[in-house]
Structure 1
Amino acid sequence: MGMELALQDQNYTAVTEFLLVGFQLIHTVKILVFILFLLIYIVIITGNTLIIVLVSTCHQLQSAMYFFLSHLSSSEMVFTTSIVPKMLQVIASEGATISIPGCLFQFCLVSTSGGAECFLLAVMSYDRYLAICNPLHYPTIMDLKLRLHLVICSWMLGGSVAIIITTTLISNLQLCGQKLIDHFFCDFTPILELSCSDTSTVQMVVFLLCIPAILIPFMFIVATYVSIIITIRRIQSSTGRQKAFSTCSSHLAVVSTYYGTMMTLYMTPSRGFLLKVNKVLSLLYTVVTPMLNPIIYSLKNQEIQTALWTCIYNMLGKEHLHE
């Protein structure tokens, strides 16, 4: 069938590209929204790049927690970069076309990085569980080999789910000459709106795939945090309890915002007028959450702040020596 979504009924014209209509804003608001999202995108790229560089270069950030955090930042950069530049074009041009292969590639890239982030968040909760609930055996269990295996599995699982979902869309979606996507990127629910055939099977397949990709990692995170909270409550000193909780509070805040919007969007697919709600929720997890993540981790993490100031001090010191 190829990448072009062929139509079974010859009375319809084959669709070779989609038109993303975006937000349909008036001209004055459009400029402000464009500048706002451009600034947010710059913050996302700068913040996550900074985390990756600090973790890669600073010896005090070589623990498993920061290793996983750097991969989380990488997934968010891939995630937002696959969406925001096209979204900015849609806002600036008041709509923009995207080819069928480009649309499916974007959806696959978003699904891969988004799925990887779900598994990485679960991996990070497992790391905190071992560190707090089993501290004596933590160094031997969470060695470099296990870290690499967990990261590789997270990316592979995210990618495999994305490929299966994309293949399902290609093989089951029958268009009726429609090409307007009422969204700012090629997301699942807006694409389904273009189909004139029954999409219940596709929705069911995607829903079932979301169980291992979204729900199971989320349930695993909940289970680990139940154990973590029980362990923290058993700590005698209030200082010890506060220190133990501070190591996972940032992760817990990120999990709450990310999984909340993800499950609302993909575990309960909506059609019709609820697409407007879908668009707003999509903004939360595609733009707002990736912007908040580096801010949350940097503001609430003393080690990252110390590493940042140390790097700045070293850079200034080297420049002073050269002078």
Structure 2
Amino acid sequence: MKTLKGPAIFLAQFCSDEAPFNSLDTIAAWASSLGFKGVQIPTWDGRVFDLERAATSMEYCNEFKSILAKYDLVVTELSTHLQGQLVAVHPAYDEMFDGFAPESVRGNPVERQKWAVNQLMLAAQASKNLGLNAHATFSGALLWPYLYPWPQRPAGLVDTGFRELAARWLPILDAFDEAGVDVCYEIHPGEDLHDGATFERFLAAVEDHPRCNILFDPSHFVLQQLDYLAFIDRYHDRIKMFHVKDAEFNPTAQQGVYGGYENWVDRAGRFRSLGDGQVDFKQIFSKFASYNYEGWAVLEWECCLKHPEDGAKEGAKFIQEHIIRVTEKAFDDFAKGGTDEVANRRILGLKI
């Protein structure tokens, strides 16, 4: 068994124009002061990372790592959640997702997608240059508007959608394979890969590509009312990343999983800071220990109530307390007696 790494923190929700969150040096000092050992980097945020330079300059990558090293931190993974979303966008969401892309490609879905694919290609090389072995992203979605089967979906619509999604991602997966990096899709509502069934559809469509893997975030399973512990049992071979995020689901007479168009505070399902929700993290960390999960435990703060700085401070301690330092011996080794094949056959009453 192996002890997972952590605690780490995803910086996406913390970067801002205010100190100490407005530069890599200062946000690293802040994260380290809270007890974090690693940081997951949002590649779209120029205040902390330059994706193109990381893909083309080992000097930049070494400088980047040296800044983190000053604070006893390492980079755990890069993230292209926003760019990955733009690899596949249904036209209904074109205007809303335009904000994820530079102005030069807004209003032009074809050019926007090309830009997104190039961003993923850069991320593959940047990850390699930084010595990373996993990458976080979203799959994007062509089929999300047709999630509920009413009106009845035309025959073959879902198959067509997944074939197209696979065709867009296969060149990217191949580039990450060449770089020696796993692509970890966050299983997330709003994405075509939002549960186990859809991940399996996509995996089949990309012909079981070895780099097609999973970012496990139990909060999204709580909101969908999925069995997140059984999910680990079923897909642990493909789970290469872990967002430690809490959530709660409290259905009422007014709303359930769909949320009634309410804001986050008033939804039946909502994200909470670590320890404030319903996720059974003791069982999750136990399962990861038993399945030899080798990656990081990365805090992703998303809470509709608590201040992010408090969530981060409490989260570092929460993760550290949940990490299981795995044992190197069996608890009953003290009672072990030396035997051999002859003795074993004698004990079973077999001929020697």
TM-score normalised to structure 1 length: 0.24
The higher-RCO structure (CA 8 Å, 6+ apart) is 1
The structure with the largest strand share of the pair is 2
The structure with the largest helix share of the pair is 1
TM-score normalised to structure 2 length: 0.23
